[in-house]
Amino acid sequence: MIEHAQATAGAGHDVVIVGGGLVGASLAIALSRIGMDAALVEATPPGALPAVFDQRNLSFAEATVNALTALGVMQRLASSPAPIRTIHVSRAGDYGRVRLRAREHGRDAFGQVVVASDFGAALEARLSELPGLARYRPARFIGFDDGDDQARVLRLALADGREQRLRARLLVAADGAHSAVRAAIGIGAGSWDYGHDLFVARMRGRHAPDGDAWERFGDHGPTALLPRGDGHYGVVHGVARGEADAVAALDDAAWLARVQRAFGWRVGEFLGTGPRSRYPAVRLVASATTAPRAALVGNAAQSLHPVGAQGFNLGLRDALTLAELLEQGGDPGSEALLAEYARRRAEDRRRTLEFSHGLALATGQPAALARPLRSAGMLAAARVPSLQGWLVGGAMGYRGEVPRLCRAPAAATVPPGAAPP
């Protein structure tokens, strides 16, 4: 690993990744694995993790677990992840429910739950082992200088007030939903506000998690419970925007009572809670995923409603597809390579966006007329094997052209109804 804390005249790399969060760091590891001359531009200094690595619970699809194991990240988790063996889906006031069991689809688990802070530490441990990776930190992208048709020239602001010029044959925007790189290269984005905020917390129940993940929908958003490896539940609770300030002000006892009312007694009584974090539920989709000598990955390309836990899994598939194409050699920023990246990501991106958005809208619609349709859909999903296969394949990360690292070892065969590799 090569640290760059000071300005270096004339520095340049084949690939420069702006953003050291979940997807950007994963891409840097994937590129180092294939011997690519890559650099990572990070806003946080050495010894600190980006704010995204907090107490949120990340649901890794099977395809994601396969890839992160191949990249040597899962092995560096300090705490054991929790398997998801059964998925329960229901909505307050509606008939029907969906229950998906991994063993019925030839799997021990659909995926695993990892705490974001643990994942951040594992990524950092893996990054520190990579001798050829250049890391510019703390540094912030502020714009471009004149380049040419062979490279982009980035301007970076350093912590001491000076600027760094950095030449990139391919620039990768991995700097989040409000991407400065995306704006600078002229790619627009459309947004959709779902009208509720999401509260995230660690909670302790009378009954410890046993591999079940729960999604309980209501008029104002979802209440989801994920099993954690530490014996707690990871809770996401949706609240109408107008009520969110009042919910944030609740003491722990009132907060526990509110979640209990929304979720019910499916795991028994909630006994304790950790600190709460709050995030707006907003979808943002870039109008394109490429520009001359630039590509978008992760939340810079699309930021999803967390229902269905698709966001990071989709973003990682962006990164791994790009790495797979770069492994073939040639000009890393060529028009042909970028066109192929956009083509290969199109189906997975479209289907995942449609699924996430449609599920968020359908389950959040309070109108009484929507209930029969939702109930019919729940009953069909519970009873029709082909529909279950489609749901399971998507939940495990098998949509569109699946990157090679996602398909091994467990995903050599995909569930019936899922898209083949």
Give the position of tokens 């959040």: 364
**Tens digits of per-residue pLDDT, 98-142?**
788 889 888 899 999 999 999 999 999 999 999 889 999 999 999
CATH assignment of the domain containing 139? 3.50.50.60
Examine residue 231 and state whether it is found in any structural domain, yes or no: no
Strand order in the sheet with 82-84: 57-61, 111-115, 82-84
Examine residue 51 and state whether it is found in any structural domain, yes or no: yes
Total count of domains within the chain: 1
Give the position of tokens 């459309």: 190
**Tens digits of per-residue pLDDT, 143-154?**
999 878 899 999
- Are 141 and 175 spatial neighbours (Cβ–Cβ below 8 Å)? yes
Helix ranges, 264-411 (H): 311-326, 335-364, 370-383, 385-395
**Tens digits of per-residue pLDDT, 324-342?**
999 999 999 999 999 999 9
**Tens digits of per-residue pLDDT, 227-279?**
999 999 999 999 999 999 999 999 999 999 999 999 989 889 999 999 999 99
Q: Which domain holds residue 155?
A: 2-80+115-189+284-363
Residue 72, pLDDT > 90, answer: yes
Question: Is 244 strand, coil or helix?
Answer: helix
Q: pTM for the whole thing?
A: 0.89
Examine residue 267 and state whether it is found in any structural domain, yes or no: no
DSSP run (H or E) holding 33: helix 22-33
Examine residue 229 and state whether it is found in any structural domain, yes or no: no
Examine residue 23 and state whether it is found in any structural domain, yes or no: yes
DSSP string, 185-226: TT--EEEEEEEEEEEEEEEEESS---SEEEEEEETTEEEEEE
Q: Cis bond leading into 138, ω under 30°? A: yes
- Are 286 and 300 spatial neighbours (Cβ–Cβ below 8 Å)? yes
Examine residue 14 and state whether it is found in any structural domain, yes or no: yes
- Are 175 and 181 spatial neighbours (Cβ–Cβ below 8 Å)? yes
Examine residue 332 and state whether it is found in any structural domain, yes or no: yes
DSSP class of 40: E
Examine residue 233 and state whether it is found in any structural domain, yes or no: no
